[in-house]
């Protein structure tokens, strides 16, 4: 007998989202996917990511759309006393505030985290910044590529002899967003036990340093900086990419003795199993250049797809190197919930779904990313209890902006 369906895990949690661009919005989108109510507070000019160059839908950039589903938007002039008062009322009604301003900006706006959490002891305040709230670099601006460069990540990316390369994904931003979510969830657990909130401080640079994983320890132990990894591995000779006769790339990760023997058998190179140069993983690593020459020559005899099929049948981990369109097509064909279609009455697009699943749990119906100020009046009247006249006065005086999905700019 199946368990009864339960509600989303974060249902009932109210989060005030003061973030912009990517690190913060990716965090709050994840929290919204898990059922939290996200009130996205924007400047009157809107989240700066709305206007990033590139593809657009209904006037908003695809960049913005990628990170802002399942949110409501209110646009407030935080530099005005009346706007600041609205903001403080939102915070008073919230469980969590998350922001990614540079350190000190919230305090200058009249939203000092220490004063606010002292006034609201159960509130969790999460800050994402480039270099943390303390330290010599706290006031420096930071973007994804800046922290990839400073952390050593870029020095590991690309091929030997080529210039350092940025990861093709915004790891500096997304990883910081993930750590912010982890910090918030940890603070929520602690609050259940103590009743007190916490201030969470997440640094993009610290997030990238954490991503170094074993490479950081390798460097610490040897005193040598690891170089660009290309498509290989510092410790496993048979963990890299190869090309078939048709030029298509595929990766092989023959990590264990069984996998190594299977690889040799599929390639018809069984003699390598007892060859002293390749007798174990350490020997293969010492003699990797010779080994690669032998493997590359054999792989060049057949198309990549043939090798993928043969190695898969032999239970040797292998995969073709796919482009983004191919990967998304695979996810769509699998129909396993990896993609989610986000739509409103005027437009629709596919996005990558949150990878977390809870069995016997109701999933959040994806809400199209909000237009600037789309929910302003509803938030003022329904959440904060203002009368319609009071809300209309704030709109008329330019303290807030109210819009609706029907007023979106036509797609350019």
114, 159, 233, 343: the active-site residue: 233
* CA distances, 391 to each of 81, 85, 88, 164 (Å): 15, 13, 16, 52
> How far is 325 from 401, CA to CA, in rounded Å?
38
Residue 114 annotated among the catalytic residues of the structure: no
**CA-closest candidate to residue 75, choices 51, 53, 47:** 47
Question: For residue 170, what are its two tokens?
Answer: 């915004």
> How far is 123 from 120, CA to CA, in rounded Å?
6
**CA-closest candidate to residue 126, choices 28, 243, 273:** 28
Kind of pairing, strands 318-320 and 249-253?
Answer: antiparallel
Contacts for 84 with CB less than 8 Å, ≥ 6 apart: 78, 109, 110, 111
Residue 22 burial by CB count (10 A; 0-12/13-18/19+): exposed, middle or buried? buried
Angle, helices 257-267 vs 304-313, to 10°: value is 130
Active site residues: 233
């Amino acid at each position: 007998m199946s368990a009864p369906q339960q509600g989303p895990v974060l249902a009932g949690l109210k989060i005030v989202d003061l973030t912009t661009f990517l690190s913060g919005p990716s965090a709050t989108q994840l929290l919204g996917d898990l059922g939290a109510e996200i009130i996205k507070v924007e400047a009157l000019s809107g989240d700066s990511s709305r206007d990033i160059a590139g593809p657009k839908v209904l006037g908003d950039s695809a960049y913005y759309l990628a990170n802002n589903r399942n949110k409501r938007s209110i646009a407030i002039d935080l530099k005005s006393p009346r706007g600041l008062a609205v903001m403080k009322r939102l915070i008073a009604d919230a469980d969590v505030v998350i922001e990614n301003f540079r350190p000190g900006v919230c305090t200058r706006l009249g939203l000092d985290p220490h004063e606010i959490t002292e006034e609201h002891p159960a509130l969790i305040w999460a800050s994402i910044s480039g270099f943390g709230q303390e330290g010599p670099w706290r006031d420096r601006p930071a973007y994804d590529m800046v922290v990839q460069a400073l952390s050593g990540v870029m020095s590991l990316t690309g091929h030997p002899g080529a210039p350092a390369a940025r990861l093709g994904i915004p790891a500096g931003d997304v990883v910081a967003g993930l750590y912010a979510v982890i910090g918030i969830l940890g603070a929520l657990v602690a609050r259940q036990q103590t009743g007190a909130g916490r201030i969470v401080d997440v640094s993009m640079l610290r997030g990238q340093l954490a991503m170094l994983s074993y490479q950081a320890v390798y460097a610490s132990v040897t005193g040598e900086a690891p170089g660009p990894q290309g498509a290989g591995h510092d410790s496993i000779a048979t963990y890299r990419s190869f090309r078939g006769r048709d030029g298509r790339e595929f990766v092989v990760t023959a990590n264990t003795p069984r996998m190594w023997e299977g690889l040799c058998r599929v390639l018809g190179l069984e003699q390598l199993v007892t060859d002293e140069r390749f007798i174990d993983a350490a020997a293969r690593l010492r003699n990797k250049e010779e080994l690669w020459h032998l493997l590359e020559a054999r792989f060049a005899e057949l198309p990549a797809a043939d090798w993928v099929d043969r190695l898969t049948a032999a239970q040797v981990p292998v995969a073709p190197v796919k482009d983004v369109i191919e990967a998304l097509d695979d996810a769509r064909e699998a129909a396993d919930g990896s993609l989610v279609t986000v739509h409103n009455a005027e437009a629709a697009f596919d996005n990558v779904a949150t990878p977390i699943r809870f069995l016997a749990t109701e999933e959040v119906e994806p809400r199209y990313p909000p237009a600037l100020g789309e929910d302003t009046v509803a938030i003022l009247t329904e959440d904060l209890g203002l009368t319609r006249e009071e809300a209309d006065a704030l709109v008329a005086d330019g303290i807030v902006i109210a819009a609706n999905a029907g007023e979106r700019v036509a797609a350019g």
